[in-house]
Structure 1
Amino acid sequence: MEEHFIQDGFRKYPALRDHPLKTAAQWKLGRAMDDGCGHLWRVGDHLYDLSLFVQSHPGGREWLEVTRGMDITEAFEYSHLSPHVRTVLEKYYVRPAEGPRNSPYTFEPDGFYMTLKKRVHQHLATKVSREEKDEAHKRITNVQDRLVAIFLFLFMATAWTESYTLAILSGVVLMLIINCSHNFYHKKDNWRMYCWDLGLLSSYEWRITHALSHHGYTNTLWDFELSDFEPFADFRVYPKSFVQRYVIPSILMSSSFLFFFLEAVKRIVTIAIGQQRLRPENMLPLVELLFLWLLGCPFVVSVKLWLVIHAVSSFMFGMVGIIAAHHHPDMYHAGDGAFQYGNDWGLGQLDAVRDRRDVDGILLAELTMYGNHILHHLFPTLDHGILDIIRPIFKETCLDFKLPAEWAQSQSPYNQWDLVVGVIQQLARTQSRSLARSKSD
């Protein structure tokens, strides 16, 4: 099995990838084993000791603490636009790294991504005013804050009326809050990122499994969000059983209401075995339960309403996440053997991400259903409100690199239904794209 996937460009199959306990801590441990950086950090072909920089890191100490001992090349590049950051990095240089990187991605100075990044930085630094940036950011925070206010109102009304209808509505709004807060945990530490923790999830864990793993290595062997479904649902491309291909999709969709609870159980296990510590924000869901009771709702009824709120939110979150933007036979998945446009990291993202024409352009839908997804993947630490400002630069760069019209003209051929069907097709896919094309020719 492992040998089948090495063709995808990784030097070796990721350590601990198939461990039965799928957690952020386990992914970190596997990466440290594979990268072999000890107590240092690797960027490109060099090792750095950032220990003295952790406390003063502008993005917050957490990002560096969780990546010690890892190759952070991808995260370093997509997190920093300004070339000045390299000057800071060089202050902490230790020695050359031993051996080539495990990752298949490249960041050539004249390649697509580095060219795009340089142009975006120049545009934002010289063409976009501070007022324009602040206004773009304010649009996003207004949406998040209003959703939080609506949730609090519905939550209190649920307790006072003991209404399961209001509990269902609270769960839907909670899902919208969680998805909207996705914009904030990609950035430096801020209070809005903890809205993610309202739903039995952990912003700390998802910074690892989503921001570092999924965004750095989308749909590859190192993408935690690909391995997290396995062995029950397998989006990789290789020979699969009938059950994996055709029975699992229906189970996957219908059981999404359990997702939050399973994540909570995994967190309890990792805390119990000492892989991570209990964090204050982990207690927010229990605070919700306590408030239901303190607001006058009988305890047993409070527990039932609390379960309904989180089950509904979990179901909606799971459905939106699965059919959002990554699983369709047209997109690269581990087992396809090669990226369609080469190993440049930005082109790899274009190969594994899609936009949806019926979601983009509607701010609430973009923030809560992962719209404007290509630009978000290319620049995940940029505030979502900035993405439309840099779209002309993206289109210009796509034209210069002679990429397909889908990106050069920002006209996605996909709608939400296409990606719903695509999930089912991808779970059933057993042939790489190149083999499928050769047979059709």
Structure 2
Amino acid sequence: MSDREIPQPNGRLLRSARRPIGHLALGPEGDKYLFRQRRERLQQQRRAEAVEASRTLVSEAATSEAMATSAHQTSQAGSSGCVGSTVAQTQCQSTGVMASQPLVMTPEEVAIQRAVDREAQLQQVLGEIKAKKERMIRRRVRMQRRQADVSELEEMDPAEMEDDVRTIRSVLLSAWLKEEEGPGACVMAPPPSVGEAQGRAGVGGESFLMERGEEGGESWTQKTRSSMRRKSPTQHAEDGRRSTIAPPSPPSPSPSPSRPAAPAAAPAAADDDGTARRNKSRSSRQLFSLAEVARHDMPDDCWLIIRGKVYDVTTWVPKHPGGSLIYVRAGKDCTHLFDCYHPLYVRGMLDKYCIGEVERREEEVSRRKKEMLEYIDDDSQTKEDDQEEEFYTVMKRRVEALLREKKINPRVSPAMYVKSALILLGYMLCYYGTFFFFTDRDMFVAAVLCAIGMGFLMAEVGVSIQHDCNHGAYAPWQPLCYLLGTSLDIVGASSFMWKQQHVVGHHQYTNVDDFDPDIRVKDPDVRRVTTKQPWRAYQSYQHIYLALLYGVLSLKSVFIDDFSAYFSGQIGNVKISRMTTAETVIFFGGKVLYVLYILVLPLLCSPHSIDKLLGLYVLAMLVSGWTLAFMFQVAHIVEDAQFPEADRSGDRSKVRMGWAAAQAATSTGFSHGSMFWTHISGGLNYQLEHHLFPGMCHLHYPIIQPIVRATCKEFGVPYHAYPSFWAALRAHFAWLRKVGMQGMEWRLAG
């Protein structure tokens, strides 16, 4: 049967189910299998209904013919006693006529009785149709409550599908199949509503997970999550092997001899109280200390802490769409990293990897205060532990809807590949012109200009190429992200140490002293950025001398900071993760390669004298340092930006505001609407957008900026932006002067 021959509403169901859903697809084979299975079920149902209807019509026709024949014979014979009794008996057996009716019926009365019976059957069918229609209406209302409009689902393009979303869909589909093929499944169940069918197919967003069942019952998503929580790791592995349509979902980690095994939760009683089952599952989980979790900090043994729960994601590491970012914080708390890098629907995958919770031991109080910082907004007491602040959740849903509407992959922009090629090509040309091409005495000015260009493009490699790559926001193919992420090693700095300082420390704990490694200030220090830091007399002039000292930051990072972090094992108060063999090779190999091509090769082969070579190199590094420092410092070190203090009372450190609201309070942008500054700064002019969505290519930030600003205004969250880069730079040095002179004013005041 072709699609056009399928009557309504089944035809509408199948056609809408084939349409794109949330950037997701099962692939050609999966689609064919799924729709063929649905078509076979519908055809079996229609054949059964047709056979039943045929049997009913044949029975009615035979009964009517017998009644008409008996009545005709009775009228001809003129005998109404014996024959009338026979006719009445036949009529009572076949049609259920009451004994009070006449024993003999004329052909007209028989026809009337048949019409009455048919009308009763039609009324029954109409009643069933109305009941089905009411159920469909209730399902549609539930769809609208979950913000899953059918028209929005039908407009989605499967060409924009990503690998991580494909895996999520496979997990949801396999869970649905296991539920459908269970012992309680009904083979001849009535066709589901459009919302239910698309919910079963798997939709790429938490707001698109359709509920099933009658109103007031537990949703399909809740049933699936509850059933996953009640299964042991062995059962998850067996379920993964049984999957026949979609690729098996990642099994729960099986315990190994090197790590304690989490006890399997006992099967919960069959009741409708989902909360009771969740509490029972939580109570059966194992408790781990921070020290125990910290030992599992490698890709082949990776544990994470998210909202106080411990997750063993070792089996998911090779499949992680974000590549190596999954273990950039292995063995430690990564709650805020998980929230800002993942869409809302990914949270549904976490339960199957949960193996326990963090035990709050008294002897680990000081360690928790140093390593774990919690952001608690005003109404956190009314929220569950696993809920984000409403401000951030609403914003993420709006941004995700906008990207779906515009069919934009947030991690990919073709223009970024062109930009990267131009930056790398320009860097190589400037390097060649500086050391090998403009070698005559009369051409030394050109060599100086090339050195300036080389330093600027060196900074552009940092703020554009490696910045997006090491945030996982460059390409859907993660090996390419990893490869170009090492471009930072090519220009001298360490990509590994940058991820530990910037991705782990700065993005999680922005502007929080003792947690954000970008603003750590030891006593004494040349810079004072908050009024809580110790003051020294020379800091009264920091707005003057820092303008010069910012230039040496690149040299300091390449030759001092990276090695200091490697040998000390921490950057500020952020303990770095254990390096893999590949990361160690890249760390030292990058340093050796950089020294060879930037210093040794020119000293051996360049016609320039040694003093000129060193002068050109230092000039390039100064330009690079100034460019990087100015771009980053104007984003957070200004008067409009706040510096939240960590409350260390109790057994953990806390900041009294939500994490997303804290990002808005501590970040400032500049030159919004300027594509020039967006390219030059690598999207850092949209600083808040970058902190809330770090996994997004910076060329997409101008698209989402109106939503971010409007949502901030709606929730009363500050949004700071300067009209130009120069206004932001003036604000930065004005703040340095103010906080530097403030200590002197206090001292003069006695």
- Return closer, same or farther for 1:306/1:229 CA change in 2, 3 Å cut-off: farther
> Whole-Å Cα distance in 2 between the matches of residues 45 and 272 of structure 1?
30
> Whole-Å Cα distance in 2 between the matches of residues 229 and 155 of structure 1?
37
Partner of residue 17, structure 1? none
Partner of residue 334, structure 2? 72
Partner of residue 394, structure 2? 115
> Whole-Å Cα distance in 2 between the matches of residues 104 and 425 of structure 1?
31
> Whole-Å Cα distance in 1 between the matches of residues 347 and 741 of structure 2?
42
Partner of residue 397, structure 1? 711
CA deviation string 1:368-418 (max 9, x = no partner): 3321111111101111122223234324423432445x57xxxx3554344
Partner of residue 430, structure 2? 154
TM-aligned CA deviation for residue 127 of structure 1? 0.9
Partner of residue 308, structure 1? 619
TM-aligned CA deviation for residue 237 of structure 1? 2.5
Alignment partner of 1:183 is 2:468: yes
Partner of residue 374, structure 2? 104
Partner of residue 506, structure 2? 214
Partner of residue 439, structure 1? none
Which of 475, 479, 491 in structure 2 is aligned with 1:199? 491
> Whole-Å Cα distance in 2 between the matches of residues 90 and 336 of structure 1?
30
TM-aligned CA deviation for residue 270 of structure 1? 4.7
SS of equivalent to 2:624: helix
TM-aligned CA deviation for residue 70 of structure 1? 1.1
Partner of residue 7, structure 1? none
Which of 663, 680, 695 in structure 2 is aligned with 1:349? 663
Alignment partner of 1:128 is 2:406: yes
SS of equivalent to 1:205: helix
Asked if 2 retains the 8 angstrom alpha-carbon contact of 1:238 and 1:430, the reply is no
CA deviation string 1:93-136 (max 9, x = no partner): 11122349832314744511122123322332x31225x768x7
Partner of residue 732, structure 2? 423
Alignment partner of 1:368 is 2:680: yes
SS of equivalent to 1:122: helix
> Whole-Å Cα distance in 2 between the matches of residues 418 and 52 of structure 1?
49
Q: For 2:669, give the aligned amino acid.
A: D
- Return closer, same or farther for 1:383/1:284 CA change in 2, 3 Å cut-off: farther
TM-aligned CA deviation for residue 226 of structure 1? 0.7
> Whole-Å Cα distance in 1 between the matches of residues 602 and 676 of structure 2?
28
TM-aligned CA deviation for residue 320 of structure 1? 2.9
SS of equivalent to 1:67: coil
Asked if 2 retains the 8 angstrom alpha-carbon contact of 1:342 and 1:348, the reply is no
Partner of residue 29, structure 2? none
Asked if 1 retains the 8 angstrom alpha-carbon contact of 2:539 and 2:741, the reply is no
Partner of residue 49, structure 1? 312
> Whole-Å Cα distance in 1 between the matches of residues 316 and 521 of structure 2?
32
SS of equivalent to 1:95: strand
Which of 302, 307, 332 in structure 1 is aligned with 2:642? 332
Q: For 1:127, give the aligned amino acid.
A: E
Asked if 2 retains the 8 angstrom alpha-carbon contact of 1:104 and 1:343, the reply is no
Alignment partner of 1:89 is 2:368: no
Asked if 1 retains the 8 angstrom alpha-carbon contact of 2:552 and 2:621, the reply is no
Q: For 2:396, give the aligned amino acid.
A: K
CA deviation string 1:54-113 (max 9, x = no partner): 33322123x333312211000000011141x22332222111223498323147445111
TM-aligned CA deviation for residue 288 of structure 1? 2.9
Asked if 2 retains the 8 angstrom alpha-carbon contact of 1:111 and 1:344, the reply is no
TM-aligned CA deviation for residue 179 of structure 1? 1.7
- Return closer, same or farther for 1:108/1:243 CA change in 2, 3 Å cut-off: farther
Partner of residue 165, structure 1? 449
Superposed CA RMSD: 3.4
- Return closer, same or farther for 1:256/1:429 CA change in 2, 3 Å cut-off: closer
Structure of greater relative contact order (alpha carbons < 8 Å, 6+ residues apart): 1
Q: Quick check: 242-251 or 90-99, which moved more?
A: 242-251
> Whole-Å Cα distance in 1 between the matches of residues 561 and 722 of structure 2?
38
> Whole-Å Cα distance in 2 between the matches of residues 127 and 398 of structure 1?
22
> Whole-Å Cα distance in 2 between the matches of residues 143 and 313 of structure 1?
18
TM-aligned CA deviation for residue 429 of structure 1? 3.0
Alignment partner of 1:320 is 2:631: yes
Asked if 2 retains the 8 angstrom alpha-carbon contact of 1:237 and 1:333, the reply is no
TM-aligned CA deviation for residue 304 of structure 1? 4.3
SS of equivalent to 2:355: strand
Which of 521, 528, 546 in structure 2 is aligned with 1:234? 528
Q: For 2:338, give the aligned amino acid.
A: F
TM-aligned CA deviation for residue 46 of structure 1? 0.8
What number of residue pairs does the alignment pair up? Answer: 385
Q: For 2:339, give the aligned amino acid.
A: E
Asked if 1 retains the 8 angstrom alpha-carbon contact of 2:423 and 2:460, the reply is yes
SS of equivalent to 1:104: strand
Q: For 1:367, give the aligned amino acid.
A: H
Give unpaired runs (5+ residues) of structure 1. Answer: 1-32, 433-441
CA deviation string 1:229-248 (max 9, x = no partner): 87321323326425264123
SS of equivalent to 1:96: strand
Partner of residue 443, structure 2? none
Partner of residue 420, structure 2? 144
Which of 265, 269, 282 in structure 1 is aligned with 2:560? 265
Partner of residue 26, structure 1? none
Give unpaired runs (5+ residues) of structure 2. Answer: 1-288, 297-302, 361-367, 377-385, 440-446, 473-477, 571-578, 649-654, 743-750
SS of equivalent to 2:406: coil
